Each structure stands twice: as C-alpha cells, then as structure tokens.
C-alpha cells in the first residue's frame, strides 16, 4: 500500500500540508534534542557531548528496521522509495567541504533553522552563509558541471555495492551503533572531567 503519495493513495493537493506537518515534527525533535545550540552539536567532534551521534545513529537504525518490517508485512514497496543516486567523487568532495563547514560553523542546515527559531544570531548568520554558498555554487556551475556529474553510479544501494542483503546491512548498523554508543559514553565521561569552558546540566 505504501508509499502513499507515489501510489496515488494521497493526492497531490495534500503535498504541502504534509510537508509542513512533517517539517514541524522534524524541527521539534531537532530543537528538543539540543540541536539549536552549536556548542552541543560540535561536542561530537571534541568528545564532550555525543548527542549528535546518539540521535543520528538511533534514527538511522530505527528507520532501517522499520522499512524492512513494513516491507516484510507488505505495507510498503521498497522499490518505489527514492534512493539517492551516487556520484562518488563529487559526493566525497562535497561531504568533505560540508564537514569543514560543520566544524567551523557549528550547524548544519536543518539545525540552523531551529537555531534561528529561538533567536540565535550565529544561526541566522550561518543560514545567510548557506544562501551565499549555494549562490556561489550556482554561478560557478558551468565551470564545475563536468565534475558535478562525474563518477555516476546510479541509484545504487549499500547492499548492492557490497553484495549482501538489506537485512545484513541493517544488522551491521545495529552492531556498529551499539558499539559507538558504548565507546563514546566512555570517551565523554573522561573528556568532561577535563573541560572547564563548557558546563553541563
């Protein structure tokens, strides 16, 4: 039966209402988890606060298990899901630039919107930076179009790339997540003892 909109079960006129509602839940979860604060977010890179890793990996694992379960029950057709296409080298370079921006800017786009919502001036400046960065990319597009479209691998999944089933990949992520939760919990305890610049509640 699912996905509902691509199957025509919910018609297009509800698109924007659904978009707004899903966005409200998304923004609420991000802000309530502490992502409206850049110093909470960057804690993941310095070991004093791993909230980003905890929320992120938990969400990935829950969604993966949910999708497999829905597929098994016949509630969703996984073949109709949008699989982000892979352009290997451009994506590696893009992700590296984003990683640099993450550490310098302290936000990512979604989290910066929630920072703007509660009155963080640094989030407003970050969002303005996003606008400028995308504008520069758009204007430079003719120069980088070749690179942008290079290394296209199509809508390949992790499972297809490695050659195992989605179930095995999900199991691997569960193990990885549990190990990461335990390891970062130990690191966080040690780092917090030595840090004085940042107070924790």
Partner 1 sequence: MNTEIQSKNMPRYINPYFGGVLLGLLLLATFFITGRGLGASGAVKSAVVTTVDRVAHQHAEGSTFYSKFLTDNHSPMYSWMVFESLGIFLGGLISGVLFGRLKKLRTEHSPKITSKTRLIAAGIGGILFGFGSQLGRGCSSGAALSGTAAFSFGGLIVMLFMFGTGYLVAYFFRKLWI
**Residues between 101 and 140 with contacts to partner 1, criterion CB under 8 A:** 101-138
Q: Report if residue 184 touches partner 1, rule: CB under 8 A.
A: no
Q: Report if residue 80 touches partner 1, rule: CB under 8 A.
A: yes
Q: Report if residue 100 touches partner 1, rule: CB under 8 A.
A: yes
Q: Which of 8, 11, 13, 23 binds partner 1 (CB under 8 A)?
A: 23
**Interaction with partner 1 in 151-170: which residues (CB under 8 A)?**
153, 155-161, 166, 169
Q: Which of 72, 175, 178, 198 binds partner 1 (CB under 8 A)?
A: 198
The answer to whether residues 83 and 155 touch, using CB atoms and an 8 Å cutoff, is: yes
The three-state secondary structure class of 9 is: coil
Nearest to 144 by CA among 86, 83, 93: 93
Give least dist CB 119 to partner 1, A.
5
Q: Which of 91, 171, 180, 192 binds partner 1 (CB under 8 A)?
A: 91
Phi, psi of 152 (to 5 degrees): -70, 125
Q: Report if residue 175 touches partner 1, rule: CB under 8 A.
A: no
Cis geometry, peptide bond prior to residue 3 (ω within 30 degrees of 0):
yes
* DSSP symbol at 184: H
Give least dist CB 83 to partner 1, A.
5
Query: Tokens standing for 63?
Result: 């969604």
> How far apart, in whole angstroms, are the C-alpha atoms of residue 71 and residue 80?
11
Give least dist CB 144 to partner 1, A.
8
The answer to whether residues 9 and 16 touch, using CB atoms and an 8 Å cutoff, is: no
Sequence-distant (6+) residues with CB within 8 A of 31 are 114, 117, 118
Count residues contacting partner 1 (CB under 8 A)? Answer: 134
**Interaction with partner 1 in 38-77: which residues (CB under 8 A)?**
38-40, 42-46, 48, 50-51, 54-64, 66-67, 70, 75-76
> How far apart, in whole angstroms, are the C-alpha atoms of residue 186 and residue 189?
5
Residue 21 or 179 with smaller CB distance to partner 1: 21
Q: Report if residue 88 touches partner 1, rule: CB under 8 A.
A: yes
């Amino acid at each position: 039966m699912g996905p509902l909109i691509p199957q025509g079960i919910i018609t297009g006129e509800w698109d924007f209402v659904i978009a707004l509602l899903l966005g409200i839940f998304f923004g609420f979860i991000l802000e309530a988890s502490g992502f409206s604060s850049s110093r909470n977010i960057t804690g993941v890179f310095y070991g004093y606060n791993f909230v980003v890793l905890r929320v992120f990996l938990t969400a990935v694992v829950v969604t993966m298990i949910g999708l497999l379960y829905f597929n098994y029950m016949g509630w969703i057709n996984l073949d109709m899901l949008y699989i982000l296409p892979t352009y290997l080298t451009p994506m590696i370079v893009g992700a590296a630039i984003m990683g640099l921006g993450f550490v310098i800017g302290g936000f990512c786009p979604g989290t910066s919107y929630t920072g703007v919502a509660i009155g963080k001036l640094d989030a407003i400046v970050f969002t303005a930076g996003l606008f400028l960065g995308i504008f520069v990319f758009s204007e430079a597009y003719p120069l980088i179009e070749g690179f942008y479209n290079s290394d296209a691998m199509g809508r390949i999944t992790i499972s297809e790339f490695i050659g195992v089933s989605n179930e095995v990949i999900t199991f691997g992520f569960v193990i990885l997540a549990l190990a990461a939760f335990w390891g970062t919990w130990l690191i966080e305890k040690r780092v917090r003892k030595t840090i004085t610049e940042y107070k924790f509640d």
